[in-house]
């Protein structure tokens, strides 16, 4: 039980840290308060979501790498071919969950106050659009994201990064079960 709890904490902690870094460091849009919790946005202040989304994608990619490293180091039995889907999908699911929580965590931790007097400049909480319920990518080529369940783009992003990490770990590993039989030399 303690090992499972430690693995769960080790898997989710990088995603929590990535979200907190995103809330603190993402560029913010600014607006001029007109009172009553409303404001007029400056046209070229901060970001309209593109750079905020890019920053979140990069941070969640690094968190997926960390999640794959945690699973690789704590569960040796997953290093076999049958364990590779688990090594990829668990960081992918954690990435999708982090994308779900990103707008709510940003609103909770960095929302602008509602009682700002008229004429004050206010920085808004970071936002990257409808991160979870819309397609992750801005492009329209390729498959239609409406065919997939919500969050599949984030699941695929996290799983893909984790798979690259697992492939690199397997390639450079000195564990004898991972070395192909034809590449072993008899001594």
Structural domain contains residue 187: no
pLDDT computed for residue 14 by the predictor: 96
Non-local CB neighbours of 68 within 8 Å, separated by 6+ positions = 87, 88, 91, 161, 162, 165, 166, 169
pTM (two decimals): 0.78
Structural domain contains residue 137: yes
Non-local CB neighbours of 48 within 8 Å, separated by 6+ positions = 29
Structural domain contains residue 183: no
pLDDT computed for residue 92 by the predictor: 93
Structural domain contains residue 181: no
Answer with the residue of higher pLDDT: 111 or 182: 111
**Are 98 and 15 within 8 A, CB to CB?**
yes
Total of domains in the chain: 1
Average pLDDT of the chain is 78
**Are 70 and 9 within 8 A, CB to CB?**
no
Quote the domain boundaries for residue 52: 2-172
Band of the pLDDT at 138, cuts 50, 70, 90?
A: very low
Residue 3 has pLDDT above 70, yes or no: yes
Answer with the residue of higher pLDDT: 140 or 61: 61
Distance CA 161, CA 165 (A): 6
Distance CA 90, CA 73 (A): 14
pLDDT, tens only, 79-130 = 888 888 999 999 999 998 898 888 888 888 877 777 777 777 777 777 765 5
Distance CA 34, CA 14 (A): 39
Structural domain contains residue 186: no
Structural domain contains residue 20: yes
Structural domain contains residue 178: no
Q: What is the DSSP letter of 37?
A: T
Structural domain contains residue 152: yes
């Amino acid at each position: 039980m303690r090992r499972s709890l430690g693995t769960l904490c080790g898997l989710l902690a990088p995603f929590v840290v990535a979200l907190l870094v995103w809330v603190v460091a993402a560029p913010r849009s600014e607006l001029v308060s007109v009172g009553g919790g409303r404001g007029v946005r400056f046209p070229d202040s901060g970001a309209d979501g593109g750079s905020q989304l890019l920053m979140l994608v990069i941070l969640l990619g690094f968190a997926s790498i960390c999640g794959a490293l945690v699973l690789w180091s704590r569960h040796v039995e997953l290093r076999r071919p049958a364990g590779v889907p688990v090594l990829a999908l668990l960081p992918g699911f954690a990435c999708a969950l982090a994308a779900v929580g990103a707008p709510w965590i940003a609103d909770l931790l960095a929302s602008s106050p509602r009682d700002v007097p008229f004429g004050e400049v206010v920085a808004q909480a970071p936002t990257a659009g409808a991160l979870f319920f819309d397609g992750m990518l801005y492009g329209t080529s390729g498959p239609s994201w409406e065919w997939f369940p919500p969050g599949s783009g984030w699941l695929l992003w996290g799983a893909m990064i984790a798979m690259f990490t697992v492939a690199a770990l397997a390639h450079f590993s000195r564990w004898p079960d991972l070395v192909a039989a034809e590449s072993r030399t008899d001594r």
